[in-house]
Amino acid sequence: MSTIDITFVEQGTFLKGTGRIADGWRAWKNGFAFFGRGAADYRGDRRISLDVDVKARPNSRSPLIDQFPVDLEASGESRFSLFAVRNGKLAVLFPIALALQGAQPRESMVLNDYGTEIRWQRKTAIWFELGMRFRIAAPPGRSAPIVREYDTQFWQGGLPSLGRRR
């Protein structure tokens, strides 16, 4: 799995994820694909992760795509984000502030965004499918209080549950 670099732009309003598709392009069971993952802490208490996959469609092992096409240039919008592919690199822009607007303060959320088509300029029957999953983890809860029980754990002569007496 390749690495997606995550940065926050516009004072943390947007998440920007970038990855090199050409470097992570590999064969898998149904053809060729890129799989990447990145994660970062958001404002100190939440963890945001981004999983990206780009798959060649239809499922094939065509020699045209055994290497990711560096001449592929595309940009557009998916359900939750904006994306751009250029020179074998992918950039994704995700609005965190909008996603967190309706969320409860102690709630985790997962946003799946699969099925976005990326068309190749060449006149081939091959196209690419972009899939993304944004995970926003809930902030950690408060830790349990420490209860000191010095006198309550001691049984004179042994534990009664063991049936032993000294």
pLDDT string in tens for the chain (166-residue length): 688 999 999 888 899 999 999 999 998 888 889 999 999 998 878 889 999 999 988 877 788 888 888 888 889 988 889 999 999 999 999 998 888 887 776 778 888 988 888 887 766 778 889 999 999 888 777 777 777 666 566 555 655 566 555 5
pLDDT of residue 117: 87
In angstroms, the CA 128 to CA 55 distance is 5
pLDDT of residue 17: 94
In angstroms, the CA 140 to CA 61 distance is 44
Cis peptide before 105 (omega within 30 of 0): no
pLDDT of residue 37: 95
pLDDT of residue 43: 80
Contacts of 153 (CB under 8 A, 6+ apart): none
pLDDT of residue 151: 57
pLDDT of residue 164: 56
